[in-house]
Structure 1
Amino acid sequence: MKRLFLAVILTFFAILFTHARELTPLNESQKFKQFGLVWGLMKYHHPLVSKGKYNWSEVFVKNAEKLERIKNQEELNFFLLNFINSFKSSKIKISNDFDGLFTKNYDYDWIAKFQPTSELYKKLNELKLNTNINDYYVSIGKLSVIPTFENEKALEKFDFSIKSHRLLTLFSFWNAIQYFDVNKYLMDTDWEDTLDKLIPAFLTCDAELNYEKLKAEMVRALDDSHAFYLNQNLLDSLFEYKPSFVTNLVNDTLVVIATFDKNVDEYNNIKLGDKIVKIGDKSIKTSILEDLSPYISASNYSFLKRLSNWVLHGKSDSLKVTIARNDSLFSKNLPRYKDFTNTNPKVLSRDTPRKKWQFIEDDIGYINLKSISKKEIKTAFSSFSQTKGIIIDLRNYPNNLALNELTHYLYPERKTFIHVLGPIANRPSLAKHVKSPLKLIIDPFKTGHKNRNFYSKRIVLLVNNNTMSQSEYIGMAIQGSPNCLTVGETTAGAVMNIAAFTLPDATEVNFTSLGAFYPDGSGAQRKGLKIDHYVNETTSNFLKDQYVLKGIELIKMK
């Protein structure tokens, strides 16, 4: 009898041991990832959670702390199922209709990837397909298709040193982008891969400055020139000291275009027109990619070049550079300063038009859109009526001019110049091409009007990496005119309006809220405006405005 009892006990423990070996172990990143994904799915898909019935940030913190005791996938599946079931259920409306919808951002592969139980999979899949969704956490108005996150609030007593608080920052932002950034499919790195990279770092972050760096890295992954995030502490840490001169990037060389009277000694080291070809032992392009790119979200390299002067800023009070001057090449250690007064500026003289509008030749007009008014644009087009062509300078951000006040003179009839992609309130991850919201409202994606007296000669549009956001939108409208050629370099690649999202630590992050496409279907987000003729600026010719010279050449060719 004792032997039989012993055999039974041994068999029992053998079964337990075998079962234990079959349990699927989890590391810390895996279990927090699965919980964060389920938490985000419920936030934007669950009928009552999406109605704001619960303090969803507090729910995250409370349950994230419970995850500490979970050791394997089987326990996590049980935890996640109980988590979902702990919230009151409501009517689920299933829809598998994707006709006419933009599906490139539709990504729920993670549901099956983590081997949920059949019951858990069913719950998650129902939420994925649910269209009975409320708009507490994200709303899209009838008159605007821009998503707003006005009920995203800071977490009370947020403390970056608390792991669950840091993870809340990560998953709050990640899920908002996952479900409502229509340009997500354009990112260089898959958004889920970005999450996989960031979770371990957010878990182990041990200093406030490192936390800020991780936030900057998180936002930078959007590859969106609108998504700029560097708080003051991070700015001070990375770029606290700056030189008392300003440069302009020409190809891969920084040309000194302005100096300030900080001290006499520095003037012996740096002069107007000097060409900086290296910073330390790195080329300028390498410095931009290594020192700026990790922290600054940019749709393209052209936008990063716009901030190239920042590579001369840094953490120390001196900077080693290699300078080309005349026919010599030499290295210098230049001083950098925390603060200085920009007194006695000396600026490199450049031959470029200065007026809002002018004749640059007898039969060629020039208009700078930066500050020109409706009245002035009318006078300009009247004066240019007999010219061979007009150069329109959009290397700036127009401040005083509405779009239709310009295209009034450029279009023979009203037409569509842009197609816009917007999110759908009750279909997270999906999007659709937007039409005019109401019949009573004029279609914002058309411009011009019937005008037999429109300007029918050559239009040359000048653009560069300062052409961004509304400037790019206006640029697309100008390009839609019958006789337009575009001259310049790649624009910033962030065409449409921004959406603002408040993180749990009360900081705000922006991203481009809509997608922009030309009428032929080609995209403008990240790519920037279409360019007909790229400008070839060099360090020897950039003192003369090569953009304007190319415009004159194209007008004379017609």
Structure 2
Amino acid sequence: MNGCVSAAAFLALSISSLAQSGVTRANLQQSMGFEDQKGLALTGWYGGPPETFAADNTVHHSGQWAVRLQRDDKSTETFSVITRSLPIDFKGGSVELRGWFRLQDVSGNAALWMRQDGGGQMLSLENMDSQQVKGTRDWAQYSITLPINPTAEKLFFGVILAGKGTLWADDLELMVDGKPIAEAAALPGLPEDHDFDSGSRIAVDKLTPTQISNLATLARVWGFLKYHHPAITSGQRHWDYDLLRILPAILAAPDRDHANDALLNWIDKLGLSACSVCFSAPSGDLDIKPPLEWIHDRKLLGAPLSQRLESIYANRTGKQFYVSLMPGVGNPEFRHELAYPQISFPDSGYQLLALIRWWNILQYWAPDREVAGQNWPAVLEFFIPTLALAKDKTAYQLALFELIAKANDTHANLWSSLDARPPVGECALPIKLRFVDNKPAIYRLDSADSTFQPGDILDTFDGVSIQSLIDKWEIYYADSNSAARQRDLAASLTRGACGPVSVEVTREGRPVQIQTVRIKTKQEWATHDQPGDTFRLLSLQVAYLKLSTIKAADLPAYFEKAKNTKGIIIDIRNYPSEFMPFALGAYFATRPTPFAVFSHADLANPGAFQFGDAVSIPPGPVHYSGKIVILVDETSQSQAEYTAMALRAMPNAAVIGSTTAGADGNVSSIDLPGQLKTMISGLGVFFPDHRPTQRIGIIPDVVVKPTIQGLAAGRDEVLETAVHLIEWTRVDSSKIR
């Protein structure tokens, strides 16, 4: 096709759609005809660039709505796409995608597309490459077909427009062997089991040390079986409900031996066949090995139970039912983990299930579990009574916040329940805080009210020490390092009940009492870059480019303006608006430049993570030869840190600022009982020499932190230092401001 979209691009273009939820074969068809739209913003579909597609209620094939993809000279990327995804939980020989198109002045190609993925990679792709649908055409129906791959796990499909022009699409249909996909026979999934749909029927009001120890052993055995025993890895058991069935026997066991006997009997009922294709222990370039020494502990388990677990490990099949790998990326996707939205709390059984599910995911599928620095068996035992005895949903959520914080992963947190994390309240002071020398200081005002001033240090709320509140609340903040934790606390610290509050601040070394009011305000992600234009010349010698509003399509114009400068400042004290490592790095690389290595989970060896090959930046056709100064701080996280790694690897590059958030790698989402949701960093991210980045972050070459005096004066001391390093002259801060 003109403006051909490569298979590699297709492999990456739909990864975000994996977050899609609530889509089933039964409820799909209405959205395939776009009749569920509520307005011009397209709902139910994912894609990009976002400004190039929308719902359309003026041009449509039938009904009231269609989708319009429209591209011109200003459009970013080389193509526009909309996409959906479905699990391949149906039987059949082939799957067909049909749809009606209308075209106007399409220079590239208009296409339906489908893709099947399995085992973390693309298995097959069809994108109408041979049909060459372009130009101006009236409504006509098109179709594509793929044979269903027996190993496929996910189906992606949608509409794509390459080049320029306008494409309308409507009345899409998915067919399996000529029949609507909703009528296709289902593949075996979770077995029919409704024993605990309305609750676990387990109530715990106290726990003895023996019960806690036995529950910890149950948790470890249950997780081991979940990812190793063929009856569970093949999806033959509703494993959550099996946990709820065995819990009463473990709670009733008077000692360790009786509990271990109950576990042994439970396992024997599952049966075990010798493997036809057996897997050896993980080998090669490993980052971490499976945490399985405990299955050989005869003192803990007794000889019979230990031997049974060893036999299961030797006969594992390498398949997984509850986890797969994200296509094209390789971070874990936790399939078939149910959220149980109907559960009422307290429910000790489901609360323990939340702990045990999360803890085992950390043990087997978190690449950074060792970097977290925890004694994980001790964490499990500590939180068993905390979760089991939580008296209501609020207590349950707070216990999960505290548990998840043990991962020391800024990607974590109980994202579904941030309103329940202290301090609670829908109102806040109209100020922006950041920690300077471990003290919360004002760096920006959200209104013209002169009650507060930049540089004020907060000391008390209504007579209560700010530090005592921080000490009380910080256990609920899941962050990789103290810089990120202080950033997140700063964003929430003034929240509380709406209305008057008395605040004491330190201003220029003196205490100042302020009577003010908390008001309704939206909590926003902090950035410390410069307001104003994305690109500017700070002087004839220094260019400035911030990534919070960057567009890859604008890079040629920016570098044309910067070509005669002595250096360029790349400000990543923010979250980039587009994925920039390769597009931006190509202007600086003089040869293929490696900058990162990932570690990936091994489905056949749960708990093992293997290093992959180094990721490199290829040089582009235009080269910028000046100095490169990269600005980072605690607001630089994940994609921002990855971008900093890429740019730092370039010639003449240096990083200035302070410690970044220390959480890189694609995230993996985890559902927990009560329709709660958390995440983990799903990939290990390292420098090419295997130095880790998780928790450590990107260490600056030149450490520069803001000062109270600088905040009060409205200075950006980090940026001033960057300009000085390029020009080697004293910087006039008023020019930067």
TM-score norm. by structure 1 comes to 0.84
Displacement, 1:520? 2.5
Are 2:291 and 1:106 equivalent residues in the alignment? yes
Q: Assess, with a 3 A threshold, how the Cα gap between structure 1 residues 488 and 107 changes in structure 2: closer, same or farther.
A: farther
Q: After superposing the two structures, state which structure 1 stretch, 469-478 or 114-123, moved more.
A: 114-123
User: What SS class does the counterpart of residue 487 from structure 1 fall into?
Assistant: strand
Maintained 8 Å contact 2:282/2:605: no
Q: After superposing the two structures, state which structure 1 stretch, 78-87 or 64-73, moved more.
A: 64-73
Match of 2:221 in 1: 38
Maintained 8 Å contact 1:274/1:323: no
User: What SS class does the counterpart of residue 654 from structure 2 fall into?
Assistant: strand
Maintained 8 Å contact 1:244/1:260: no
CA deviations on 1:208-264 (whole Å, 9 max, x unpaired) are 211111111121111111112154485377321533311222512421622448xxx
Maintained 8 Å contact 1:105/1:182: no
Gapped regions of structure 1 (runs ≥ 5): 1-24, 262-266, 343-349, 436-442
Percent identity between matched residues is 23
Match of 1:80 in 2: 263
Distance 1:351 1:155 in 2: 42
Maintained 8 Å contact 1:414/1:450: no
Match of 1:397 in 2: 575
Match of 2:587 in 1: 409
Maintained 8 Å contact 2:405/2:412: yes
Distance 1:143 1:175 in 2: 25
Q: State the one-letter code of the partner of 1:522.
A: R
Q: Assess, with a 3 A threshold, how the Cα gap between structure 1 residues 66 and 524 changes in structure 2: closer, same or farther.
A: same
Match of 2:172 in 1: none
Distance 1:210 1:299 in 2: 24
Gapped regions of structure 2 (runs ≥ 5): 1-207, 730-737
Q: After superposing the two structures, state which structure 1 stretch, 508-517 or 281-290, moved more.
A: 281-290
Within 5 Å, give how 1:42-121 maps onto structure 2: 42-92=225-275, 93=278, 95-103=280-288, 106-109=291-294, 112=297, 114-121=299-306
- Equivalent position to 1:300, from 457, 481, 493: 481
CA deviations on 1:142-195 (whole Å, 9 max, x unpaired) are 633111112111348433322211111110111111111010001132222211
Match of 1:541 in 2: 710
Q: State the one-letter code of the partner of 2:364.
A: Y
Maintained 8 Å contact 1:323/1:331: yes
Distance 2:376 2:569 in 1: 41
Displacement, 1:95? 2.5
Maintained 8 Å contact 2:226/2:232: yes
- Equivalent position to 1:360, from 508, 514, 538: 538
Displacement, 1:40? 0.8
- Equivalent position to 1:483, from 652, 660, 681: 652
Match of 1:446 in 2: 616
Match of 2:100 in 1: none
TM-score norm. by structure 2 comes to 0.65
Q: State the one-letter code of the partner of 2:503.
A: V
Are 2:494 and 1:312 equivalent residues in the alignment? yes
Q: Assess, with a 3 A threshold, how the Cα gap between structure 1 residues 236 and 475 changes in structure 2: closer, same or farther.
A: closer
Q: State the one-letter code of the partner of 1:377.
A: L
- Equivalent position to 1:430, from 577, 583, 608: 608
Displacement, 1:556? 2.2
Q: Assess, with a 3 A threshold, how the Cα gap between structure 1 residues 371 and 316 changes in structure 2: closer, same or farther.
A: closer
CA RMSD of aligned residues (A): 2.8
Displacement, 1:105? 5.7
User: What SS class does the counterpart of residue 523 from structure 1 fall into?
Assistant: coil
Q: Assess, with a 3 A threshold, how the Cα gap between structure 1 residues 457 and 129 changes in structure 2: closer, same or farther.
A: farther
Q: After superposing the two structures, state which structure 1 stretch, 206-215 or 66-75, moved more.
A: 66-75
Within 5 Å, give how 1:135-534 maps onto structure 2: 135-140=320-325, 143-155=328-340, 157-229=342-414, 231-232=416-417, 234-235=419-420, 238-240=423-425, 242-251=427-436, 252-255=439-442, 257-260=444-447, 270-273=451-454, 275-280=456-461, 287-291=469-473, 293-307=474-488, 308-314=490-496, 319-326=501-508, 328-332=510-514, 334-337=516-519, 339=520, 352=530, 354-400=532-578, 402-435=580-613, 445-449=615-619, 454-534=623-703
Maintained 8 Å contact 1:408/1:448: yes
Distance 1:374 1:351 in 2: 19
- Equivalent position to 1:552, from 710, 714, 723: 723
Q: More relative contact order in 1 or in 2 (CA 8 Å, sep 6+)? A: 1
Q: After superposing the two structures, state which structure 1 stretch, 77-86 or 226-235, moved more.
A: 226-235
Q: Assess, with a 3 A threshold, how the Cα gap between structure 1 residues 286 and 230 changes in structure 2: closer, same or farther.
A: farther
Maintained 8 Å contact 1:312/1:319: no
Distance 1:133 1:233 in 2: 37
Displacement, 1:56? 0.5
Distance 1:551 1:274 in 2: 22
More strand by share: 2
Q: Assess, with a 3 A threshold, how the Cα gap between structure 1 residues 327 and 142 changes in structure 2: closer, same or farther.
A: closer
User: What SS class does the counterpart of residue 427 from structure 2 fall into?
Assistant: coil
Maintained 8 Å contact 1:365/1:391: yes
